[in-house]
């Protein structure tokens, strides 16, 4: 029996679906753009700034920034850092892998996605890890 206190969610309107699409597109654009910046010598703080500037230029806001006090636009995880690492001023090094989680909120709707990038040339083991992980997804 259904709880009388629980209401069924209302179906989304076509306008709301369009807003969701825009939020998702902004996030996807950020992650595609950042691929060109992920290289040895770049810092995750620099990537964070690039992402934030882009999101704001699209009249959206960074979803993660300010959430439960989180101070950044991106979550950046290098190598063994599993998830939700903080951007910092440590330069990326050839052979690392970097996962970036990004969220954009556009008119109340959120796009959220993550991608793992190779920093320059990576070992065969890391290439396999990235390949198998993507195939699993």
**Domain spans, the chain:** 14-136
Whole-model pTM above 0.85? yes
Pairing outcome for strands 97-106 and 74-78 = antiparallel
Cα-flanking dihedrals φ and ψ of residue 33, to 5°? -65, -45
Q: Tokens 């090094």 belong to which residue?
A: 93
Confidence of residue 4 (pLDDT cuts 50, 70, 90): low
Topology of domain 14-136, per CATH? Creatine Amidinohydrolase (3.90.230)
Residues with Cβ within 8 Å of residue 121, at least 6 apart in sequence: 94, 95
Angle at the Cα of 22 (from 18 to 23), degrees rounded to 5?
115
Question: Per residue in 118-134, pLDDT tens?
Answer: 999 999 999 999 999 99
CB burial of residue 76 (10 Å; 0-12, 13-18, 19+): buried
């Amino acid at each position: 029996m259904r709880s009388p206190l629980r209401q069924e969610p209302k179906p989304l309107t076509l306008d709301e679906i369009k807003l969701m699409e825009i939020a998702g597109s902004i996030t996807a654009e950020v992650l595609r753009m950042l691929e060109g910046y992920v290289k040895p010598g770049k810092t995750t703080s620099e990537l964070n700034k690039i992402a934030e500037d882009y999101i704001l230029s699209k009249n959206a806001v960074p979803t993660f920034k300010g959430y439960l006090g989180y101070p950044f636009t991106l979550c950046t995880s290098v190598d063994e850092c599993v998830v939700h690492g903080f951007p910092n001023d440590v330069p990326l090094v050839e052979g690392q892998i970097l996962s970036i989680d990004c969220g954009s909120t556009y008119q109340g709707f959120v796009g959220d996605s993550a991608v793992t990038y190779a920093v320059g040339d990576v070992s065969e083991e890391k290439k396999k890890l990235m390949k198998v992980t993507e195939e699993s997804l």
